[in-house]
Structure 1
């Protein structure tokens, strides 16, 4: 019986060592900065492959109609009923930053912020309309969150403004295995993928120029050592555990005999 107890202690010690030490998972661990600290300014800029909805209105609604794409009807049918849903058509920004706009023709909108694009179109439309009103919306603002989060996936952003912490909240926060010091942002800039690193344990992350995300950004949360050891344990040590269990059984039989 003494040998069995020693063997049990050995197995338990092995499993405990395999788990690794716990890590601090708290966010913003350093000293709090002034509550009057301002977050970085943010305004999205349109780029190739963006889909935009653009609505033009004026004092004379009939005069504004030619500057709007006709709404498209999407039919939904079922055994009980059939109905149509109207949806605004979108403008696709091409690789040169251009869109084809009714009456105005080819106009360059890539690289502009929404306010800049609004003013640009208004100036163009004043030649045809009195006091035109332009409303531009980005229709395909999506972000992707991968790695050690509870709900990895691609998310649609409705209000065209989302911060890093809000994005992680959408994904259900980091898992206990997420490495708070190694959260990466992958962003395409001028046709190249750029990489930026965040340390969520420092409150200075709030002042990062990349704190607010842009369309098509990818967030990746690296796993910590505990997860790496756990993964290695699960994949490579099953045979070893089976051998230990077999050895324990053989030892018990020898002692009993």
Structure 2
């Protein structure tokens, strides 16, 4: 009976150990496929979308001419300083711009919007205006089986999916690496992409460069899901094993 009891514990802990073993082929990034350099592009365009907060700054030699187009929050409580107000892109892709009124900006790239505003301002309002545009609420979200899930601001408005995962502390060992989900809004619709981090083809993916408000979701593997379920009942299982061991010990006397 004592030998049987020993065998029970050996089998039990062997199952636990083997269930946590993971092949390195499922862990190491970029191990499959060759990179098609013809498809690799380092170009990236920020596309203006609904819910973006735009900081638009206009300068020119004639400062008085541009003053009506640079709306600020005014003088602070201490009598100094001011902050520039952001323009919210509404659900129709429009902003309410001083003097010019409603402007359709959704779907335009940053360069396209700058040229659009220049055409609106010059030469009737401002001669040779310089325009700077920034999205102040640019962020991406990483969820699922990563070390630090959450939303992360991107000050420079340019980030790859690898950099976003790095911000989240990288994937856990239990994460599925060949089926990463990226959800993006395009033309008012939610579009989903699947990414394989085990393949070098990630560098040619349309979601290699993320856009503002993209959501990256990392699935846990089957063993992790089962482990989470088992952990919730670990006390129960240990009680059963202890009871079983006690019965065997009593019978062996």
Relative to the length of structure 1, the TM-score reads 0.88
> Given the alignment, which residue of 30, 51, 70 partners 1:28?
30
Match of 1:105 in 2: 101
- 1:196 and 2:193 are equivalent in the alignment: yes
Match of 1:61 in 2: 63
Match of 2:166 in 1: 169
**Kept after mapping to 2: 8 A contact 1:161/1:212:** yes
Rate the CA distance shift 1:230–1:188 in 2: closer, same or farther, 3 A: same
1:1-257 maps to which residues of 2 (within 5 A)? Answer: 1-19=2-20, 21-22=22-23, 24-33=26-35, 38-39=40-41, 41-72=43-74, 86-126=82-122, 127-236=124-233, 238-255=235-252, 257=253
**Kept after mapping to 2: 8 A contact 1:149/1:221:** yes
**Kept after mapping to 1: 8 A contact 2:70/2:84:** no
Secondary structure of 1:239 counterpart: helix
Give the Cα separation in 1 of the matches to 2:233 and 2:53.
Answer: 47
Long gaps (5+) in structure 2: none
Rate the CA distance shift 1:73–1:147 in 2: closer, same or farther, 3 A: farther
Long gaps (5+) in structure 1: 76-81
- RMSD after superposition: 2.3
Secondary structure of 1:87 counterpart: coil
Give the Cα separation in 2 of the matches to 1:107 and 1:168.
Answer: 36
Relative to the length of structure 2, the TM-score reads 0.89
Higher strand share: 1
Secondary structure of 2:202 counterpart: helix
Rate the CA distance shift 1:237–1:50 in 2: closer, same or farther, 3 A: same
Aligned residues, how many?
A: 250
Rate the CA distance shift 1:227–1:192 in 2: closer, same or farther, 3 A: same
Deviation at 1:253, TM superposition (A): 4.3
Secondary structure of 1:149 counterpart: coil
Secondary structure of 2:142 counterpart: strand
